[in-house]
Every structure is written in structure tokens, then in C-alpha cells.
A and B are shown apart, each in its own frame.
Chain A
């Protein structure tokens, strides 16, 4: 593929190591890290050597995948020809229990991305990593980073302490709406709850497959709690969520909304309507049926060509070669997914991309 103006909505730079963050921390935290012998915040969401974490040809012999600008340019930006790529850094800030330490790490990650990536390649944008452990501190970090127009989104994880629709999180949505920042929810967990509603699974494969269920739960929560009634212009982007589950999930949510809306009387529009106006999903992974005809059917079940946003999910191994876009999509739909839909979603890109 090489589509002029394509916007890659989900790439993952790695923090090369804890040392890389130290220059972006105040002396007190540098000292704490040294005195306490704190390890890097590496999450089990993406084990370093798991095949999914880095495609074989994007997995360096030494060091981490996607850990330098040169790697990102050579392996992702240049070959795919993207006009813009949005960096979603999955460093394990959310794993922490200390609110203050989380705030320090979030700030350092955002500082590292601005200086090491955004300053050095005009194609790159980033999502704001926030210390969601403390909503007030998360809002502070949004306010701080929002001054820089290259931060285009707020980044949250698909599983945390509480469902994201809960009112306690609404100040984050107010801040995001104020600055025209979508809320990006990415696959991953802080693992403060078991990764499934039926407990801890034995295998990494189950954990990764279960990410789709986490997104389903979050979509239910955001809808039921009325987040979009309160913030009608807020966009939520589900990142690395898979998307072929969406139609069936909306059938079920709509059915129970019809039966139980007395419990959530503010929910005055159907879940499908709300998703069409406020929710988007990244293209990769495409958990597609085995045949092209069925892929066409599931795309038709979406009943909208505006929901999907192009992503490579670099350096995660979701496809081989250049096949970031599943075969069989119409040119018109490819244009929507790669260019029009991302531009309509990310208000801050409109000012920069022509």
C-alpha cells in the first residue's frame, strides 16, 4: 500500500530502558528510582519476545523493537508512506499503585516522546499517557501536554480498576473534550483485576484474546453511564481492539437497552447510533473470517463506512509484508479508512494535514 495522506492511528514506540526516562524526571524521582532499585515498568501485556509483540522482521537482535526513531522510520513510516502516525506508548505506567509515582512516570514518558520522536520527525504525533490512578493528576497531565498540538489524543487502557464510564473518570473526558482530544482506549490492563470476568487464565493467548471482551465491557460502560450524553462531541477510539465483534455486541447491548432503559433513562439514543457518532476502531488486528465473502458480510454488518481507522499496529505482528489493509476492501472504503475517517476523528490533525 502507498496511499497519499494515509494516517496510521496506532504505532508503538518502546521506551528503550528506564535510563532513557531519567532525563525527563525531576531529581527527587531520579534519586528514588536509584535508591530503591526500581526496575523498568514492563507489562505482561506484550512480553518482549512473544511473536505478537514484534514481527520477526521488526524484532532487532539487540535492544527493543521500535525503540529508536531510526527503526520507526525505516520499518514503518517510510515503507507504508504514512503522512502521519500516532504514537501510543504502552510503557507500564498504569501498573503502578502509587499515584505520585505514576504521575512522574507519565510525565517522563510524554516528555521522552516529545523530545525523542515528535521533535525529530514531523510525521509523528502522540497520545498523552496519563496517571489514571488519580484523576486530578491525570487532568493535570492532559492540561500540560495539550499545550503542544502534536499531542492529539488521551491514552487509556482497556482494563483498569473500574469501568471507564464511571463518573469518577468524567473530569478526564471534560479535559479531553475541552482540548478536542479523542480518548484512545488501547488493549492492555493494569492487572489490578483478573484479565477475564472468570479469573486469571493460564495462557497469554487467552489474555490477548480477552482484550476484545475488555473493550466490549468498556463500550457497554461508556454507553450506559451516559458519557456521550454529557460530552456529545467526545470521540472514543478503540485501539488494537479487533472490530469484527462490534456488530454482535451492539445487537446485544441494543436488545437490553430496549428492555432495561428504565435503569439508564438518560440513554436516549440506541447504542448503534451512539457508536456511529462517537466511537471509532483501529483497523488492526482484523479478526477476519476465513473467506473474503464473509469479510464482506461482517463489514456490511457494521452498517457504516466511517467507523474504522487505518493502523499498522507497528511493531506488533498482525500481518505480513505490506498487507496492512485486508484484501477485498473497495477503493472507496480504503480511502475512508486511511484518510477521511482519521481526519474526521482527530480534530488536531485537521489543522496540520492537507
Chain B
């Protein structure tokens, strides 16, 4: 949604000279929700058919706030052969990966991310199914793509089991949560997830969105989709405060957190505010040994989309200087409507080192650390697929908001 590319054409095949980049927020989805069914036990297929997902919100299907575009997507991202944007690997290759010379693409499954479902057993079962599906049907056929495993984050024990199931798998580079949770994410009910992720050498990605059952602001429900979207910056500030002040980074020094699609301009003022108030109120927080801003500096990364667009753009340089050029991870949010085009996303003149860090090397350093080498598909997936017949069905009518 960069202003700069508002009138630009769709991406063209890359010139050979264009640098290879990483895209740290790519949204894939099954063409039809029931394509996940072969990965689910029969009990949960029946459950979904009868009762649906129940997501701590009143809408049986679709989002609480209607989106601005069909499926919240770029109008040119609908695969020519049919299906939702992001549901056809071949089309994603030509339309996005090849066209933008994406060498490393991080898949972030939010369509759906079942982590916040009210029924935690369904949440766990569908997370398992999605993880098996995305490795079998996305990362195995396409080595440029890496998976974030979705976990049933309101049930820490089940999340830990899922993390341990994938630990060391070379296609899996991140544990994925959503930002709007039942309690703030620093709360100790979530700590086992962070401990397991750190033990597995996996960053914890927290993607904006989700439903924790709370109003979307501290002052109740807003009226408009634009408020919902802007409001992710507020939700994410609260979760960062929570993670820092609860002391999870003091407790798990190896923990690395990535905030995805939450913006980043708000982080420096939040860090200043945390430091200032910690100095006054530290009697309440004896478990912190360092300034809040120091924990943030060492443990938090952020993806760049939606890019901040100050006028004048020089102000953006101040902000990135404050955050650190090693902490931002370029992302497009393909195929969504507010996609950032890598050719125009950053309205600054970058040095070669900055460009390298911003577009690829920060992501490589974060996601591609050596972490064992367990190729292929977990045994459990193979077993599941052998038992089940692939089902072609009509659209199920229940899709997650993005």
C-alpha cells in the first residue's frame, strides 16, 4: 500500500541484476478449507461441519470488521485457475517469488490460524493439520519457502507438544502466534511456549490479528475496519510491555520475538515510556535486571509491512536508527491489499550495508541459524495421509479473517 507505488504496474519478471531478497510475511491458504481435512482426524472434520470454529467472536464466518477488498487481497492476486489469493503455489511462484527475486519466503499462516479457538482440542488438532499440510504441500515442493508452525497458544502444554514435534525440521523456522490473545502475551500461562521455542532454536513470530475475546481497544469496540487495522499498533504495544515487564526475556535469554505486520514506528516511543516508568515503579518489578529498552533491543525484531511513511521520509531514518538497522525484516504481506512492493517500499536512500540488512541478511541471520537437519515429513503426517482419501468439496463457507 505504499504511496510510492500506488500507480505502478504489477510486478514484472526480475532483471537478472536485481538483488535476491527475503519476504518475511507471505500468506498462503488452502484453496478450499476442506483441503485440510485429509490431515485431520475424522472426529474433528465432523466437529467442524457441525459446530464450526467458534473464535471468541460472534461471526460464524468471515471477519468482525468487513475488509476493504474481497479476501483482503490484491485484485491481481487471484489465481487464474481459481481459488483464493495465496492458495496456488505455482501462481505464487510466478506472480510473487520469481517476479521479486525472493530467495527466502517465510510463510505465516493466518487463514486460518486456529490458535485462539475456544475449543482448545480443536485448536490443537487443526494446528497440527495445518502444519502437516503446509510442509507437505508448500515447503517440500518449494525450497524457497519456509514454514511458521501454528500452535494452539491458549493451551501452552499442547503448544509445547507441537513445537517439540517439529523441532529440528529444516522447513520450520518459526513458531507463530497471533497478537490478540486472552491475556497479555507476557503472562506466565504462555511461558512454556517461549521456553520450548527457545529450546528448539525457533523465533516466536507474533502476527497482528486474532481474537482474544477482549474489545479491540481499552475503551471498547470501535466502529470501523480502519480503526481495527490502526489498532494493531496499540495491541502490540501492550503485548510488548507485557512481555518485557513480566520478565520473560530475563527468564529465557535465548528467546527471539518477531512482531509481524504490526508496524514499527511506535516501538521507540514505547521503549522510552517503559524506561521512564520503570525508573519510577521498579519496586513493582524486582525481576527485571536491565532497562526495558535493553530487553527490547536484544530480543525483538519487526517486519516492515505496513511500511511507515512519514513526510518527510527522512523521519523514517531517525526511527530505524532508534530501533536498529539489524532488527527490521522486509515483508510484503503478499497477497493482501496493503502489500508493500520491494521496489518502492522504503523511501530512503540506503547504503549497500543497510540494503543488504534490510532486504535479506537480517532475515537470514534470524531464521536460518543452524538448527539440526531433519528433512522430510514427520511420520505422523505420512500415516494420516495414507489413511485418508483426498476430498474435493464445495467451499465450506467458513474462512478466517486475515
Interface residues, chain A, with chain B CB atoms under 8 Å away: 50-52, 158-166, 189, 193-206, 208-210, 212-214, 216-218, 220-221, 224-225, 242, 244-245, 247-249, 251-264, 285, 287-290, 294, 297-298, 300-301, 317
Contacts and interface: CB of A to CB of B under 8 A. Distances in A.
22 contacts: A163-B223, A163-B227, A194-B215, A197-B215, A197-B217, A197-B218, A198-B181, A198-B235, A200-B183, A201-B241, A209-B273, A212-B237, A214-B234, A221-B223, A224-B223, A242-B273, A245-B273, A248-B233, A252-B306, A256-B226, A262-B68, A289-B272
Q: Which of B212, B265, B338 has the most CB of A within 10 A?
A: B265
Interface string B57-98: 000000000001000000000000000000000000000000
Contacts of A161: 219-220
A331 B305 CA distance: 39
Contacts of B212: 198-199
Contacts of B231: 197, 217, 220
Contacts, number: 246
Given A201-B238, A298-B269, 19 more contacts: A162-B219, A189-B218, A197-B235, A205-B278, A206-B245, A220-B222, A221-B222, A224-B223, A249-B266, A252-B263, A255-B309, A256-B229, A261-B226, A285-B273, A285-B276, A287-B272, A294-B318, A301-B315, A317-B280
Interface in B272-286: 272-278, 280-281, 283-285
Contacts of A263: 68, 224-226
A259 B285 CA distance: 41
Contacts of A166: 223
B167 to A, nearest CB: 27
A197 B238 contact: yes
Given A254-B309, A260-B229, A197 B281 contact: no
Contacts of A159: 217-219
- Which 8 A-B pairs give the minimum distances between C-beta atoms? A248-B265, A196-B238, A217-B217, A287-B273, A213-B234, A245-B269, A260-B226, A197-B235
Contacts of A264: 224, 226
B311 to A, nearest CB: 8
A254 B315 CA distance: 15
A244 B315 contact: no
A160 B221 CA distance: 11
Contacts of A218: 219
A248 B306 contact: no
A255 B275 contact: no
B179 A198 contact: yes
Contact of B233 (A214, A249, A260): A249
B233 A216 contact: yes
Nearest to A55: B280
B101 interface: no
Contacts of B156: none
B219 A164 contact: yes
B226 A209 contact: no
B218 A224 contact: no
A189 B186 CA distance: 22
A194 B219 CA distance: 8
Contacts of B230: 220, 252-253, 256
Contacts of A50: 281
Contact of B269 (A163, A201, A248): A248
Given A217-B219, A255-B306, A198 B68 contact: no
A52 B234 contact: no
Contact of B246 (A202, A289, A290): A202
A252 B277 contact: no
Interface in B245-303: 245-246, 263, 265-266, 268-270, 272-278, 280-281, 283-285
Interface in B313-328: 315, 318-319, 322
B221 A162 contact: yes
B242 A198 contact: yes
A254 B308 CA distance: 10
B220 A52 contact: no
A42 B57 CA distance: 33
B215 A193 contact: yes
Contacts of B315: 247, 297, 300-301
Interface in B175-190: 179-187
B223 to A, nearest CB: 6
A252 to B, nearest CB: 5
Interface in B192-240: 212, 214-227, 229-231, 233-235, 237-239
B277 A198 contact: no
A258 B273 CA distance: 29
A160 B220 contact: yes
Given A210-B241, A256-B230, A205 B277 contact: yes
B1 interface: yes
B261 to A, nearest CB: 12
A200 B180 CA distance: 12
A262 B337 CA distance: 14
B281 A52 contact: yes
B234 A260 contact: no
A214 B226 contact: no
Contacts of A248: 233, 263, 265-266, 268-269, 308, 319
B84 to A, nearest CB: 21
Contacts of B275: 290
B10 interface: no
A193 B216 CA distance: 10
A189 B224 CA distance: 22
A205 B234 contact: no
Q: Which of A165, A214, A251, A288 has the most CB of B within 10 A?
A: A251
A226 B284 CA distance: 41
A289 B180 CA distance: 28
B378 interface: no
Q: Which of B229, B238, B283, B319 has the most CB of A within 10 A?
A: B238
B13 interface: no
B238 A245 contact: no
A154 B218 CA distance: 21
B310 interface: yes
B266 A52 contact: no
A165 B212 CA distance: 24
Nearest to A199: B183
Contact of B284 (A197, A205, A253, A290): A205
